[in-house]
Amino acid sequence: MRFRKKHYAVPEMQKSHYVLLNMDDFTGDWSSYFASASLPYAVELGAGKGKFLAHKAKDDPSHNYIGVDIETNAMVFAKRNLEETGVDNALLLCHDISNIEGVFPKDFADTLYIFFPNPWPKKRHNKRRLTHPRQLIQYHSFLKDGANIYFKTDDTELYEDSLSYLPAMGFNLLKSSSNLKVEEDPTGIVTEYEQRWRDQGIAIKAIWAQKEKVAPEALRGRLEQFHLDEKAKREAYRQAHQNT
Ligand SMILES: C[S@@+](CC[C@H](N)C(=O)[O-])C[C@H]1O[C@@H](n2cnc3c(N)ncnc32)[C@H](O)[C@@H]1O
């Protein structure tokens, strides 16, 4: 997503209690950003302009919602969406998700949403995907055992690869669909990007998964194995093409 620089975005967000622009300013207590300190947490990665976050926080007062994104030009609209709803159970965090380990404490959230992230189709860029094993291992650091992940994409290759990334990294597949109907969607909200793809007749792919209990050292072993398997696949491909 490319935006022309909006010079008002950062100053506007600096004044809002809905936005934490920099982890250097973190109070040290996530509950201090919410009206109710006792609610469980749900995290949305790549919240964009915040349509999902604002609707969900309003519809579901049983959770405190945190939307993470790095693009301040989009987040300023998310901030306005939250202001419009007036919810007291949502926060926006400006942060690079590729470096999210340590941002939230262990056993922090019971729900994770990832909707329409960049598919990074080139092989050498796959590791930047938000569902790549290098990312999934970081999500283990703050998700409770049994936490649910809801993932939607328009991209077939990202969907198919995610169907192997998730179980490889300790997330049991509960359900998947290569053509999700709106009425079958347990998240209940059509996101901004989803609407664009649906309007163009593009099938929406979705995966629901649940975090298993896996020891950190076993997870590191799984990530290493994943990298070895990828290397072996590349080598087999290289050899096959060398001999033809
Ligand atoms: C295509 S938009 C989707 C927005 C929204 N989820 C939706 O469905 O409408 C992807 C969002 O992910 C954010 N994003 C991508 N990579 C990120 C990263 N490494 N850290 C933080 N945000 C990221 C982008 O800034 C963008 O707002």
pLDDT digits (tens, 9 = 90+) for 124-153: 999 999 999 999 999 999 999 999 999 999
Closest CA to 107 of 56, 31, 40: 40
> In the beta sheet, which residues pair with residue 143?
109
Cβ of 117 less than 6 Å from ligand 1: yes
**For the chain, where are the E strands, in sequence order?**
19-20, 41-45, 64-69, 90-94, 109-115, 143-153, 171-177, 205-211
Tell me if 30 is assigned to some domain. Answer: yes
Tell me if 240 is assigned to some domain. Answer: no
Tell me if 158 is assigned to some domain. Answer: yes
Ligand 1 atom closest to the CA of 194, numbered from 1: 8
pLDDT tens, 73-126? 999 999 999 999 999 999 999 999 999 999 999 999 999 999 999 999 999 999
Ligand 1 atom closest to the CA of 192, numbered from 1: 9
Tell me if 163 is assigned to some domain. Answer: yes
Q: Per the structure, how many domains does the chain have?
A: 1
Tell me if 227 is assigned to some domain. Answer: no
pTM (predicted TM-score): 0.96
The encoded tokens of residue 196 equal: 């664009």
Closest CA to 226 of 157, 142, 166: 166
Tell me if 82 is assigned to some domain. Answer: yes
Q: What is the CATH number of the domain that holds 103?
A: 3.40.50.150
Cβ of 155 less than 6 Å from ligand 1: no
Q: Do the bridges between strand 205-211 and strand 143-153 make them parallel or antiparallel, or are there none, so unpaired?
A: antiparallel
- What angle do helix axes 216-242 and 133-140 make, rounded to 10 degrees? 180
